[in-house]
Amino acid sequence: MDSAFQLTLLHLLVLFSLVCGAKPLCLPDERTALLQFKQSFIIHESASTSPYAYPKTQSWKQSGGDCCSWNGVACDNNTGHVIGLNLSSSYLYGSINSSTTLFRLAHLRSLNLGDNSFIYSEIPSGIRNLSRLTLLDLSYSHLSGQVPWEILELSMLEVLDLSGNSLKLWKPGFRSLLHKLSNLKELYLADVKISSSVPSLLANFSSLTVLNLSNCELRGEFPTGIFELPSLAFLSLELNQELSGTLPDKVPENHPLLILSLASTSFSGQLPESIGNFSSMEHLDISNCRLSGKLPYSIGNLTQLKHLDLFSNNFSGPIPSSIGNLNQLEFLEFSENKFSGQIPSLANLTLLDYLSLAANSFDQGNLSWIGTQTKLTYLDLSSPNLTAQIPSSLQNLTQITYLYLSSNKLNGRIPPRIGSLTKLIEIKFYENNLSGPIPYSIFKLRNLELLYLHANQLNGALNLQSFLELKISPDSNYRFPSFLRGQDELEILKLADNKIHGQIPSWFWGVGEQTLQYLDLGLNSLTGFQNLPAVLPWTSLIHFNLEFNMLKGSLPRPPPSISSYRVANNHLSGEIPPIFCNLSSILVLDLSNNNMTGMLPPCLASLAESLEVLNLQSNHFTGAIPPKYPKNCRLKMMDISRNQLQGRIPRSLAHCNLLEELILGNNLINDSFPYWLGGLPKLKVLSLRSNRLHGVIGKPQTKSDFSKLQVIDLSNNHLTGKLPFEYFNVWNAMKIANTSSLSQYMFANTSSQIKNYAWYAYYNYTVTLSNKGRDLRYEKVPDFLAVIDLSSNEFEGEIPESIGDLKLIRILNFSNNNLGGRVPFSLGEISNLESLDISRNNLQGKIPPQLSKLNFLATFNVSYNQLAGPIPQGAQFNTFNNDSYEGNSGLCGYPLSKCGNPGVPFHRLLLWHQMKMKECGE
């Protein structure tokens, strides 16, 4: 063959291979759309919680070449269209709406934006443009509002995940969604408010593999047919307390279900024999249900099971021996049932990490099998009647950290080698028949934080070095425990709630004199101190707690090392000694609910360089509030209410940028509204009730004033002018829920270094509010609580419609002012409202019928106004009595006179009608 021809042929082959093997570049308009989408967000690490999160869009650059090679982007190999976008856990922070350029990517088949923060945006209606989607994941991305109808237009969807947001599925409802999205194979709606029953048509989704409907406010009967779906591998219905149902009697053999969680639902009936047909199951959680009867023997067929939780049901009878077949189990929880008989041998369950059989009715058992559970970290066999001995093989549990064998009839001795279990943190052996000496080795456990041995027949000397919590019945007369005498190496001692009474003896001042760092004698009945030293002798003392006793006398003077000093709820008296001014490391100072007197030392303000919690409420302090708070003020909580303090509120409190709760109520403070506190970025609770505040409240200085405020109480003052509607517009924490909070209550997190590790202490905030007509003390302030109380002032004008924007308010009180005009319709939009008091004003017109939508309204008072017309009926309005409406001569309807029948109370008409019906029957 001619060499020139061969060379030409070779060139053609190379060119052909390059053309055929090349992938098309992404399309310019789609590249632009991606870049513009990126620019609509900022990167903020708080936006994602996954430990594997990283900013994927940082690689997207104008000069970054082919967008098909960018992180999270997938393109069609033939056309170059962007068909996949995975930006999950990408630290995206910002709002999203229908104008986003994302919706220009019309060829997208897969979109994952999970684990970002769209700051409570609604799902945009523009989602309809992505009609080719088969996967849509918007989980845990801080979305809110109603799931839009437009999602129902994505008829090709096979995977839909809207979990972990603040979404509602009402209009459209669940049935509409299922009717339109009939190709679904995986459906994740955890935490979406569905608030309906589960449609039976879901049992027709034969390709469904995953169904997660946990915490959806479901109700009614769950369709049993769903359990029989042939491909279903994951089913979670947990945390739907109004959802009832039963487990199916018939299930196909070898059903593929791997995970089933019905926890905290109202499922009832028995666990059927058919449960054994789920032979592939790895996770079964039916805790906190209403299931009863005996466990079927077939449960032993679930040989792949790793997690089995039957906590808090009504199961009874013996545990079947077949439970021993479950040799893959790592978690076994049977506590709070009615199991009886003998605990079967669990020797084969050698992979167990967690085992609890507590609060049942076992009466006997050979516990020798315990020694085979060498991987256990948690063991709880606390049960009323278990008769056995603690086996010596307990020493094999080298990983155990929590060991609970309390409230049984265990006899014999504590195994002497218990001290070899060096990872133990808590031991509870109380209320048994244990006898003999307490093993010396138990006091060498350096990680031990809690030891309960009381109510046994134990004896012998105690050799204490360090305990966080000790309950050991030291004396049948509950005197101060003499076994502490001579313990000179003690570092941490917690004797709280031991019913100890009498005085703290003089010999106690020598216990751990050089070593004691943590002392808690709270919740006892101690009355005083023998030979109280001028300064507490413990030179290393960090935490000192004598709360809730009956102590009298002056304050014990702490050493300079003190970090937390808590003596609340005693009968201590006298003034605050000057030595407190030298406490440069103090974090918590709580003298509340005592009989303290005198003026507050000015140095208390300077302590705020370290002090985080100051609670002096309910004493008899007089004079002015300490005036000079430092620029580096660290106060988080300050409560000096219920004293006789006078003067003005110190302007230097504006330096306390960490302040979350400020309670100055029930004093004699004479000042105007402290608008300058609006700049405190973390302030949640402000109570200035029952003082002598005067003047108008005015307007916020900036749009961010009081942006975190949830509770404001200005009641019982002399404030004038109109209601502060400009402030209503900026109190954003009463409009949008803080779903990022993981706490149920408000608290200060204070930490100290104790015994060479960080000691985390939590101080719960408290507040007194007027609710349902009386003062109510919140010993813990719920994190969701939102309150406005402006009652008993001299406000005038109308209640603004903008009050309805504060949708999170639970308690609203404008009573006893000079307000006029109509009751705003927008009050009906405050869906969480529990207490509404607008009594003793000059309000006119009708009670808006929109208020009947307030399903949580427990207290309603519009008495002594000039209201007229019919009272709304239904729901909560059927529960209010005459007191809610008296002093409004124009009102009618239940429970007052029936409209059109003046002077005849409605309930009397009803009674008359019932009597007439009875007469006719006779």
DSSP string, 726-776: HHHTT-GGGTS--TT---SB-EEEEEEEETTEEEEEEEE--EEEEETTEEE
Q: In the prediction, which pLDDT does 748 show?
A: 87
pLDDT value at 386 more than 90: no
Its pTM stands at 0.65
- Residues contacting 65, CB < 8 A, separation 6+: none
| DSSP-derived 3-state class of residue 459 | strand
Q: Residue 918: pLDDT above 60?
A: no
Return the higher-pLDDT residue of 447 and 639. 639
Give percent of the chain above pLDDT 70: 91
Non-local CB neighbours of 915 within 8 Å, separated by 6+ positions: none
- Contacts of residue 434, defined as CB under 8 A and 6 or more positions apart, other chains included, come to 390, 410, 411, 412, 413, 414, 453, 456, 457, 458
Look at residue 467 in the predicted model and tell me its pLDDT.
59
Give residue 762's pLDDT: 82
Average pLDDT over residues 887-915: 62
- Rounded distance, CA 499 to CA 501, Å? 6
pLDDT tens by residue, 778-836: 888 888 899 999 999 999 999 999 999 999 999 999 999 999 999 999 999 998 899 99
Residue 245's SS3 state is strand
Please state whether beta strands 718-722 and 694-696 pair in parallel, antiparallel, or not at all (unpaired): parallel
Measure the CA–CA gap between 296 and 229, rounded to whole angstroms: 23
Mean pLDDT calculated for residue range 535-554: 96
The answer to whether residue 480 scores a pLDDT higher than 90 is: no
Structure tokens of 133? 């989607």
- 8 vs 395: which has the higher pLDDT: 395
Examine the pLDDT at 468 and tell me if it is beyond 70.
Answer: no
pLDDT higher than threshold 70 for residue 739:
no
Give the closest residue to 288 by CA, choosing from 251, 330, 333: 333
The number of CA neighbours under 13 Å toward the Cβ of 430 is 14
| 791: its two tokens | 């009652």
Q: How far apart are CA 370 and CA 376, in angstroms?
A: 9
Per-residue pLDDT, 747: 86
- Element containing residue 526 per DSSP (H, E): strand 525-529
CATH numbers and ranges of domains, the chain: 26-196 (3.80.10.10), 623-894 (3.80.10.10)
For residue 907, what pLDDT band results from cuts at 50, 70 and 90?
very low
| Predicted confidence band of residue 17 (pLDDT cuts 50, 70, 90) | very low
Q: What does the pLDDT read at residue 495?
A: 84
User: Average pLDDT, whole number, for the chain?
Assistant: 89
Encode pLDDT of 293-348 as tens digits.
Answer: 999 999 999 999 999 999 999 999 999 999 999 999 999 999 999 999 989 999 99
How does residue 593 score in pLDDT terms, banded at 50, 70 and 90?
very high
pLDDT reading at 12 higher than 50: no
